[in-house]
Amino acid sequence: MNIFIFGLVNSVILALIASGFALVYGVSRLANFAHGALYILVGFATWLFLNRLGINYIGSILLSIIIVSAIGAAIYRLLLIRVKGMPASEIIASLAIGIAIMELFRWRGFISEAYMLPPFVKGSVNIAGVFIDWQRLIIIGVGLGMMLFLWLFTHHTKVGLSLRAIAQDKHASIMSGIEPDRTAVISLAMGSALAGIAAVVILPLGNITVETGYMVLTNAIAVCIIGGLGSWAGVFAGAFLLGFTEILTAALIGPQWQMVVVLLFIILTLILKPSGLLGRQKELEERV
């Protein structure tokens, strides 16, 4: 039961972390390596608004998420738009921004245990003999709510449909009147907002550290590689596979083996099915 509940929490955390990264990649074919930096940026920004400017908790959260969406949009508009279509340059540019943001915080001295966000609801509950704190339950709720929202958004709204269209065929989308740069800006703003939402629900479990940013990026990439880049179902499959594997490894073999097993999974995926568990096969796309 322990393993099930904490595996579930861990999986939802991974899905939340990866969903922003996957959204941006799925729509714009841009690997946003600043994802982890945006995640901790929201953490620190919320902390600053809360403790330095005295804005209430909800206000601080909303403000940080709005700011991070604007930053995400600006990153595309000002920088990535110039290197689009060149994958190596996109990765270098976005990683550079990410490192700049993260190291800026380290340089300004954001490295103490004081940086932490309070949980939304204090205390814990007993579910079938396992004590679990409210914050972890909230994470599950927000995570599942987010997945439902994203599904509805991408299947039933004009903007969502256009995001999926451009991910599948850019020229055909343009012919339907969709403007590719505008959709890319929307996807980066939304992806950044998702990173922000993940940050505010997950960070109360521990301290906000600069290293968290690097870890979040690594985890997001791991989930997407295993699940298959550009596939929603793949993101969830990857998150649950990794999430439970991590918890099982920690419980059965020892926590120090967690990372080893995760890396083994990535290597196995790349050897056996490089497109990921649910990555689409190209042959399906065209029938002439």
The secondary structure of 212-272 as a DSSP string is HHHHHHHHHHHHHHHH-TT-HHHHHHHHHHHHHHHHHHHHHT-GGGHHHHHHHHHHHHHHH
Minimum distance of another protein from residue 164's CB (angstroms):
6
Stretch that binds another protein, among 79-87, 95-103, 117-125, 201-209 (CB under 8 A): 79-87
Q: Helix, strand, coil % (nearest 5) of the chain?
A: 75, 5, 20
> Could you say which of 86, 92, 152, 251 contacts another protein (CB under 8 A)?
86
Stretch that binds another protein, among 13-21, 130-138, 158-166, 212-220 (CB under 8 A): 158-166
d(Cα 270, Cα 273) in Å, to the nearest integer?
6
> Could you say which of 126, 129, 171, 252 contacts another protein (CB under 8 A)?
171
**Looking at the chain, which runs of residues are DSSP E strands?**
124-127, 130-133
φ/ψ of residue 52, rounded to 5: -100, -40
According to the binding rule CB under 8 A, does residue 158 interact with another protein? Answer: yes
> Could you say which of 3, 67, 83, 261 contacts another protein (CB under 8 A)?
83
Q: Which of 231, 230, 219 is nearest to 266 (CA)?
A: 219
Minimum distance of another protein from residue 152's CB (angstroms):
13
- Residue 72's identity, in one-letter code, is G
> Could you say which of 177, 252, 256, 272 contacts another protein (CB under 8 A)?
177
According to the binding rule CB under 8 A, does residue 165 interact with another protein? Answer: yes
CB-wise, 64 or 162, nearer to another protein?
Answer: 162
Residues touching another protein, count (CB under 8 A): 30
- Is 177:23 a contact under the CB 8 Å cutoff? no
According to the binding rule CB under 8 A, does residue 84 interact with another protein? Answer: yes
φ/ψ of residue 40, rounded to 5: -75, -25
> Could you say which of 173, 209, 212, 249 contacts another protein (CB under 8 A)?
173
According to the binding rule CB under 8 A, does residue 88 interact with another protein? Answer: no
Instruction: Supply 219's token pair.
Output: 């985890």
d(Cα 258, Cα 265) in Å, to the nearest integer?
11
> Could you say which of 2, 92, 103, 176 contacts another protein (CB under 8 A)?
176
User: Which of positions 98-117 make contact with another protein (CB under 8 A)?
Assistant: none
21 to 60: interface string for another protein, x by CB under 8 A: ----------------------------------------
Instruction: Supply 176's token pair.
Output: 């339907």
Would you tell me which residues interact with another protein (CB under 8 A)? 82-86, 155, 158, 161-162, 164-165, 168-180, 280, 284-288
